[in-house]
Structure 1
Amino acid sequence: MVATGTFASVAGCSSTCPDDGEPEPSHTVDPGIDNPGFETLPDGSWPLPRFDTANTGYAPVQLETTTPAVRWHANVSAAATGGDDTSASAAVVADETVVLATSTDIVALSLRDGSEQWRRALTPATVPSVVDIGDGAAPPVMANGRVFLATADGIAALRVADGAVVWRNTDTAGAGVPTVAAGALFVPTTDGVARFDIDDGHRQWTANVDGTRLAVADGTVVIAGEQIVAVDAATGAVQWKREDRPAGYPVVSDETVYVSDTYGDLLGRSLTDGTEQWRLDDRRSLESPVVTPESVYAIERPGESSSATFAFDRVDDGAPTPRWCSEIDLGGAVTAAAADAVFTFQRENGLTAFTTRFGEAVWQYPVEYQAVSVAVLDGGVVGVSPTGTVVALGGE
């Protein structure tokens, strides 16, 4: 780990991080120990795949422990119930329940001990992975005691408590990750991006825009697809378009849209009109940023050499400036941040928690592919692997 404000570009395909080795965590979680559950249930929720409608990936909670343990494991893939499927979506958490999708089902687990609460046979929409492992199931979202899911034959709302179907709209197929904002459900569909009434599922408008992931902030829906497009959340009218072709989720914070474009540049655009405000173009493939009130975190993936986790200080009206970086193995992604920790998934080393300010590696959960997505709670972390293994970490 290196804490500094300047970084020099490096010739060739290596990372621009001057760190010369992978992080050595202070604590390694033993993946072979499986406790019966949480003694004290974590507070808070993670109701959307990236926590909030703006996709910041930031939950204002405390990690609370520097020596977590495995509280429970579960396997939700269809393969675990006799099927052939081995994929799973990101998890969302609310109402003491963990919900995620496989390619054939939507599954709810108890947050306390991982026991399966219910399972419904629904085929979710398919979306590209944000960590380059192929296509997978679109994750659900949670709001107002309901689970909302974009499926291959429509949009569905289920009751969190028991999985009962509240409503289904089958006049269009889902094509991406939904989100709930301002009392409405926004979903990428095969007809375009649509707004639905969350109470009864009737469609209120459809914008002729392609994309698989959305952000909603300040009355605007930002859509990531072949272009990045902003539409009015109330009417669906297009406000602006740009040719960035962003990968992963669009992120919005303080009226700035964070975009990783086709060339791997990380740039900020005005939420109002899409004008470019700043650009980081001296690094290679800064992807899927996590944005907090003070910082931006992203993985630099220069190609086939080692990647690096970068932390940047946000600057008013300017490009973020580097604070620290840490070399990691090939691949990976920054998955989430809390008030005192940032979580990085690494393909070979599992999940690593760094301190936000100085980038010290606090702990690591060393299981390959174990944490493609992470939900951060006040007193616990829930991670999901693409093969359907769900793990909860927390406690002393």
Structure 2
Amino acid sequence: MGDISRRAVLGTCGTALTLGAGCLGDSTGSGNEPNSTDDGGSWESFRAGPSNAGIVETAAPRDEPAERWRIDLSPGPGTAAVSDGTAFLAAESALHALEVESGEELWTVEFETERTGSPAVTDDAVVCPVGDGLVAVDRDGAEKRRIPFDSGETNASLLSQQQARPGPSSSPTVVDGTVYVGTPDGDLVAVSLADESVTWRSAATAGWTTFSQAQQSEAVVSSPAVVDGRVIVGTEAGVAAFDAADGSSEWTYGTERAVRSSPAVADGTVYVGGSTPIAISMESGDLEWQSNDAFETMSGRQTRPWVDAANRQERTGMKPSVAVGEDIVVGHDPDDRLVALERSDGSTRWEAPLEGVESIAAATADSTAAMGAGSSARVEPMTTQLAPSWSSPAITGDVVVVGTTQGIVAVSVTDGEGLWRIPTESRVVASPAVADGTVVVGDDSGACYALDES
């Protein structure tokens, strides 16, 4: 990984960001606010809090940030949970606790050979998904406890696939001492932390098995949003809502494609990302709006062929989730763009391309050496075709932060104007966690950064 001093600030040119042109908390979301972390001092789960809105009040830096620290973990760290000055990150089969101020590694807990997903934090524990259960670790790392899921009914063919290539459950959400999590076999589970037992288990939808078999993929259930006594998840067949107390089905909304991003709830509306973003009434499950052209490319065509090829090769169980602000919904598409939609009707407010490009200085230097110092030919930065980033954006005050194929990028909430970019050698798949103005995020190589104004 190159030194942070290599970072290049994106030129601000309208909404253009290319250099030449352009799966916890013991909190209870009110259901009427777009987030549950009021002062921006914590980021308690994958999408900040139980509503999955991905928003905090304290803003990330508007100017190019400084590197507070960098630490190398196992490849592919997930999204951090941050609370009381400690960042908890899961990477492969380990959970790490890092002091946000210094980057000091306070403790590490190994989960044997099982992969784990993004953690969530409560007042006295950190909860991680591991295959067919959860692991709860004390906040000081002193004790870990495994909480298995009930066996339930699982499709035999799908179970065989999971044994060959086991995957973790969704990132957990906790409200009032109950953990809500989607399992690898397509169920939604509620687990009581008090007695470490399964309270209820429900099939997420009736149609997921057929779809999963046809696609030869895992039966993905998204990280749940839990608001006002409802649990809302994305599934292979659409969006589903359940009663948080007993797991009974309240409504389902069918979609043409699997919903592999986590629904977000604000002011009684469920917002779902993907190739066709939608807004659904949380009360009834009725469609409020659908944005059919939100993620078309700038030329009006669909995403580039290499993106589709990467999707097929990875068969990823995740896609970027939206962040919900006061009046906009911000999504990240596979072409590395941020798109802001009006919450009222889904119309596009602004677009911010984030394509991976070499720095202007590096491109100019290389071309000058090749052509000779006397040449006056114009040098265009070269785009680099990489597998897409699945990082979900975070709204922090008046700044949006997201990971991309080549770095960490910030834009203005108001108009998508580029603010800064910190380049990385590996793509950033994890979603940024922002607490007290500090951005904590890792890239695919395992490098984890804390960025702030200091």
Q: Which has the higher strand share?
A: 1
**Alpha carbons of structure 1 residues 308 and 46: separation in structure 2 relative to 1, 3 Å:** closer
CA distance in 2, matches of 1:97, 1:198: 21
Asked if the contact 1:179/1:185 (under 8 Å) is kept, the reply is yes
CA distance in 2, matches of 1:308, 1:191: 33
CA distance in 2, matches of 1:354, 1:168: 40
**Alpha carbons of structure 1 residues 241 and 281: separation in structure 2 relative to 1, 3 Å:** same
What are the superposed Cα offsets for residues 252-292 of structure 1, whole Å, 9 maximum, x if unpaired? Answer: 11121101224322110011210000111364478522210
CA distance in 1, matches of 2:118, 2:150: 16
Report the equivalent of 1:257. 329
Report the equivalent of 2:412. 313
Structure 1 counterpart of 2:346, one-letter code: G
Structure 2 counterpart of 1:352, one-letter code: Y
CA distance in 1, matches of 2:44, 2:101: 25
**Alpha carbons of structure 1 residues 264 and 218: separation in structure 2 relative to 1, 3 Å:** same
Report the equivalent of 2:169. 137
Answer yes or no: is 1:211 the counterpart of 2:259.
yes
Q: How does 1:244-393 map to 2 (within 5 A)?
A: 244=294, 247-281=319-353, 283-284=355-356, 287-301=391-405, 307-315=406-414, 319-332=415-428, 333-348=430-445, 350-355=447-452, 357=453
CA distance in 1, matches of 2:143, 2:41: 20
Once the two structures are TM-superposed, the CA of residue 221 in structure 1 deviates from its matched residue by 0.8
Choose from 270, 273, 289 the match for 1:224. 273
Once the two structures are TM-superposed, the CA of residue 106 in structure 1 deviates from its matched residue by 1.6
Q: Provide structure 2 residue ranges, at least 5 long, that are not aligned to the other structure.
A: 21-39, 59-82, 86-98, 159-165, 209-219, 296-317, 357-387
CA distance in 2, matches of 1:335, 1:90: 12
Secondary structure of the residue aligned to 2:416 is strand
CA distance in 2, matches of 1:249, 1:114: 33
**Alpha carbons of structure 1 residues 264 and 76: separation in structure 2 relative to 1, 3 Å:** same
Q: How does 1:36-51 map to 2 (within 5 A)?
A: 46-51=43-48
Once the two structures are TM-superposed, the CA of residue 107 in structure 1 deviates from its matched residue by 1.5
Answer yes or no: is 1:66 the counterpart of 2:98.
no
Report the equivalent of 2:69. none
TM-score (normalised: structure 1): 0.67
CA distance in 2, matches of 1:74, 1:299: 26
> Which of 1 and 2 has greater Rg?
2
Report the equivalent of 2:305. none
**Alpha carbons of structure 1 residues 153 and 268: separation in structure 2 relative to 1, 3 Å:** closer
Once the two structures are TM-superposed, the CA of residue 102 in structure 1 deviates from its matched residue by 1.6
Report the equivalent of 2:66. none
Choose from 154, 157, 167 the match for 2:187. 154
Structure 2 counterpart of 1:106, one-letter code: L
Q: Provide structure 1 residue ranges, at least 5 long, that are not aligned to the other structure.
A: 18-42, 80-85, 127-133, 302-306, 361-396
Secondary structure of the residue aligned to 2:233 is strand
Secondary structure of the residue aligned to 2:418 is strand
Asked if the contact 1:227/1:242 (under 8 Å) is kept, the reply is yes
Asked if the contact 2:42/2:436 (under 8 Å) is kept, the reply is no
TM-score (normalised: structure 2): 0.59
Report the equivalent of 2:373. none
**Alpha carbons of structure 1 residues 309 and 272: separation in structure 2 relative to 1, 3 Å:** same
**Alpha carbons of structure 1 residues 248 and 311: separation in structure 2 relative to 1, 3 Å:** same
Once the two structures are TM-superposed, the CA of residue 62 in structure 1 deviates from its matched residue by 7.4
Q: Percent identity?
A: 22
**Alpha carbons of structure 1 residues 180 and 312: separation in structure 2 relative to 1, 3 Å:** same
Structure 2 counterpart of 1:295, one-letter code: V
Report the equivalent of 2:243. 197
What are the superposed Cα offsets for residues 3-39 of structure 1, whole Å, 9 maximum, x if unpaired? Answer: 8673479xxxx9739xxxxxxxxxxxxxxxxxxxxxx
Q: Which has the higher helix share?
A: 2
What are the superposed Cα offsets for residues 320-367 of structure 1, whole Å, 9 maximum, x if unpaired? Answer: 323332222221245211123111312335211011x4xx6xxxxxxx
Secondary structure of the residue aligned to 1:320 is coil
Report the equivalent of 1:56. 54
Report the equivalent of 2:300. none
Structure 2 counterpart of 1:16, one-letter code: L
Answer yes or no: is 1:237 the counterpart of 2:237.
no
Report the equivalent of 1:6. 11
For the aligned residues, what is the CA RMSD? Answer: 3.6
Asked if the contact 1:334/1:342 (under 8 Å) is kept, the reply is no
CA distance in 1, matches of 2:334, 2:435: 29
Secondary structure of the residue aligned to 1:288 is coil
**Alpha carbons of structure 1 residues 334 and 203: separation in structure 2 relative to 1, 3 Å:** closer
